[in-house]
Structure 1
Amino acid sequence: MKRKLAAVAVLSATALLTGVVGVSSAAQASPLGAPQPQASEQHAAALALAGGQSGPLARALKLGGQEQLVAKDAVVDRDGTKHLRFERTYAGLPVLGGDLVVHQSAAGTVTSVDKAVGTQLSLPSLTPQIPADKAAAQATGAVQATVGIAADKDESPIKAVHQTGKAELVIWASDGNPRLAYRTTVEGERADGTPSSQLLVTDAATGQVLSTHEQVQTAAGTGNGVFVGTVPLTTTQTSTGYSLKDASRGGQSTVNMKNRTSGSGTLYAKTTNTWGNGTVSSGESAAVDAQYGAAATWDFYKNTFGRSGIKNDGVGATSRVHYGSGYVNAFWSDSCFCMSYGDGASNTHPLTEIDVAGHEMSHGVTSATAGLNYSGESGGLNEATSDILGTMVEFYANLPKNPPNYWIGELINLNGDGSPLRYMDKPSKDGSSADSWYSGVGNLDVHYSSGVANHFFYLLSEGSGAKTINGFSYNSPTSNGASVTGIGRDKAAQIWYRALTVYFTSTTNYASARTGTLKAAADLYGASSAEYNAVAAAWSGVNVN
Structure 2
Amino acid sequence: MRDSSSHRRTPHGARPPVRHRRAFAVALVGVSALIAAAVQTGTAGAAPERAPSAAGQVVPGSESVKLSPAQRAGLIRAADAGTAATAKDLGLGAKEKLVVRDVTKDGDGTVHTRYERTYAGLPVLGGDLVVATTGSGATESVVRATKAAIAPATTTPAVPAAQAERQALTLAKADKAKGPDIAKAPRTVVWAASGRPVLAYETVVGGLQADGTPNELHVITDAATGKKLYEYQGIETGTGNTMYSGTVTLGTTQSGSSYNLTDAARGNHKTYNLNRATSGTGTLFSGPDDVWGNGTASNAETAGADAHYGAALTWDYYKNVHGRTGIRGDGVAAYSRAHYGNNYANAFWDDSCFCMTYGDGSGNANPLTSIDVAGHEMSHGVTSNTAGLIYSGESGGLNEATSDIFGTTVEFYANNPNDAGDYLIGEEININGDGTPLRYMDKPSKDGASKDSWYSGLGSINVHYSSGVANHFFYLLSEGSGTKTINGVTYDSPTSDGLPVAGIGRAKAEKIWYRALTTKFTSTTNYAAARTGTLAATADLYGATSPEYKAVQDAWAAVNVGSRSDGGGGGGGTSFENTTDVAIPDRGAAVSSPVTVSGRTGNAPADLQVAVNIVHTYIGDLQVQLIAPDGSAYTLKGYGTGGSADNIDTTYTVNASSEAANGVWQLRVQDNAAADTGYINSWKLTFP
State whether TM-score is above 0.5. Answer: yes
Provide the residue aligned with 1:459 in structure 2: 476
Residue matched to 2:502: 485
Aligned-residue RMSD, C-alpha: 1.5
Look up the SS of the partner of 1:325 in the other structure: coil
| Cα deviation, residue 28, structure 1 | 7.9
Q: Identify the residue that residue 203 of structure 1 maps to in structure 2.
A: 222
- Give the letter for the 1:62 counterpart: G
The one-letter code of the counterpart of 1:272 is D
Structure 1 counterpart of 2:191: 172
| Matched pairs, number | 504
Asked if 1:473 corresponds to 2:502, the answer is no
SS across alignment from 1:78: coil
Q: Match of 1:75, SS?
A: strand
1:336 counterpart (346, 353, 366): 353
Shift of 1:144: 1.7
User: By how many angstroms is 1:277 displaced?
Assistant: 1.0
Equivalent-residue separation in structure 2 for 1:203 and 1:513 (angstroms): 29
Residue aligning to 2:144: 115
Q: Equivalent residue for 1:67? A: 96
Secondary structure class of the residue paired with 2:82: helix
Structure 2, unaligned runs of 5 or more? 1-55, 563-688
Q: Is the 8 A contact 2:57 2:542 kept in 1?
A: no
Deviation at 1:468, TM superposition (A): 0.8
Quote the residue 1:187 is aligned against: 206
Q: Select the residue among 193, 213, 219 that pairs with 2:232.
A: 213
- The 5 A counterparts of 1:6-85 are 29-85=58-114
2:524 corresponds to: 507
Residue pairs, 1:204-353, within 5 angstroms? 204-219=223-238, 226-353=243-370
Which of 396, 408, 415 is matched with 1:379 structurally?
Answer: 396
Distance 2:513 2:258 in 1: 42
User: Aligned equivalents of 1:297 and 1:211: distance in 2?
Assistant: 34
Residue in structure 2 matching 1:133, options 159, 162, 176: 162
Shift of 1:33: 3.2
Once the two structures are superposed, residues 384-427 of structure 1 have per-residue CA deviations (whole angstroms, 9 ceiling, x without a partner) of 00000111111111221111100111122222222111111111
Where 1:163 maps in the other structure, the secondary structure is coil
Letter of the 1:398 partner, please give it: N
Task: State the alpha-carbon separation in 1 of the partners of residues 123 and 216 from structure 2.
Answer: 20
Amino acid at match of 2:225: T
Q: CA deviation at 1:70?
A: 0.9
Which of the pair has more CA radius of gyration? 2
Q: Does 1:429 align with 2:458?
A: no
Structure 1 contact 171–180 (Cα < 8 Å) conserved: yes
Distance 1:344 1:260 in 2: 14
Higher relative helix content: 1
**How far 1:209 sits from its partner (Å)?**
2.1
Q: Pick one of 421, 429, 434 that aligns with 1:417.
A: 434
Partner-residue secondary structure (3-state), 2:117: strand
CA-CA distance at 1:344 after TM superposition: 2.0
Q: Classify the secondary structure of the residue corresponding to 2:208.
A: strand
* Aligned with 1:394 (options 404, 408, 411): 411
Q: CA deviation at 1:45?
A: 1.6
Q: Deviations over 1:482-529 (max 9, x none)?
A: 211111111100100000000100000111111110111111111121
Helix, strand or coil for the counterpart of 2:215?
Answer: strand
CA deviation after TM superposition for structure 1 residue 315, in Å: 1.1
Aligned to 1:156: none
Tell me, yes or no, if the aligned pair for 1:460 and 1:492 is still in contact at 8 Å: yes
- Deviation track 1:431-468 (CA, whole Å, cap 9, x = no partner) reads 11111111111111111111111011001100111111
CA distance in 2, matches of 1:52, 1:294: 34
Q: Does residue 360 in structure 1 map to residue 377 in structure 2?
A: yes
Q: 1:275-331 CA deviation, whole Å, 9 max, x = no partner? A: 111112211111110110110111111111111111111111111111112222111
Q: Does the 8 Å CA contact 2:199/2:222 hold for their aligned counterparts?
A: yes
Aligned to 2:173: 144
Amino acid of the structure 2 residue aligned with 1:145: A
- Which residue number corresponds to residue 498 of structure 1? 515
Question: 1:49, CA displacement in angstroms?
Answer: 2.3
**SS of 1:202's equivalent?**
strand
Structure 2 length-normalised TM: 0.72
Alignment partners' CA distance in 2, 1:513 and 1:470: 29
Structure 1 residue runs of 4+, over 6 Å off?
A: none
What secondary structure, in the 3-state scheme, does the structure 2 residue paired with 1:189 have? Answer: coil
- Look up the match of 1:21: none
For 1:185 and 1:198, the matched residues in 2 are separated by 5
Kindly state the Cα deviation for residue 134 of structure 1 after the two structures are TM-superposed: 2.8
2:462 is aligned, of 445, 459, 465, to 445
How does 1:511-522 map onto structure 2 within 5 Å? 511-522=528-539
CA distance in 1, matches of 2:141, 2:364: 53
Partner SS for 1:73: strand
1:69 Cα offset (Å): 1.0
Residue identity opposite 1:177 in structure 2: R
Deviation at 1:248, TM superposition (A): 0.8
**One-letter code of the match for 1:180?**
L
Report the secondary structure of 2:519's partner residue. helix
1:183 and 1:134 map into 2 onto residues whose CA distance is 12
Q: Look up the equivalent residue of 1:41 and give its one-letter code.
A: A
On the 8 A contact 1:455/1:542 being kept in 2, the answer is: yes
Secondary structure of the structure 2 residue equivalent to 1:72:
strand
Checking the alignment, whether the CA contact within 8 Å between 1:310 and 1:316 is kept in structure 2 is yes
Identity of aligned residues (%): 58
The answer on whether the counterparts of 1:144 and 1:161 sit within 8 Å (CA) in structure 2 is no
Displacement after TM superposition at 1:145 (Å)? 2.5
344-353 or 73-82: bigger deviation: 344-353
**Greater shift after overlay, 364-373 or 522-531?**
522-531
1:259 is paired with a residue whose SS is coil
**8 A contact 2:245–2:306 mirrored in 1:** yes
Q: Deviations over 1:69-125 (max 9, x none)?
A: 111111111001121111111111011111011121221111221110101122221
Kept in 2: contact 1:318–1:338 (CA 8 A)? yes
CA distance in structure 2 between the aligned counterparts of 1:101 and 1:33, rounded to whole angstroms: 17
Specify every segment of 5 or more residues in structure 1 that has no aligned partner in the other structure, as ranges: 1-26, 149-158, 220-224
Q: Measure how far apart 1:53 and its partner are.
A: 2.1
Instruction: State the SS of the aligned residue for 1:322.
Output: strand
Partner letter of residue 441 of structure 2?
M
- Give the SS at the match of 2:124: strand
Distance in 2, Cα, partners of 1:163 & 1:136:
10
| Aligned partner letter, 1:68 | K
| Distance (whole Å) between structure 2 residues aligned to residue 351 and residue 538 of structure 1 | 31
Look up the equivalent residue of 2:123 and give its one-letter code: P
CA distance in 1, matches of 2:387, 2:551: 24
Provide the C-alpha distance between the structure 1 equivalents of 2:530 and 2:546, rounded to a whole number of angstroms.
19
User: C-alpha deviations, 1:232-258, integer Å up to 9, x for none?
Assistant: 111011112211000111111111111
Check the 8 A contact 1:31/1:523 in 2, yes or no: no
Conserved? CA contact 2:318–2:326, under 8 Å: yes
| 2:389 partner SS | coil
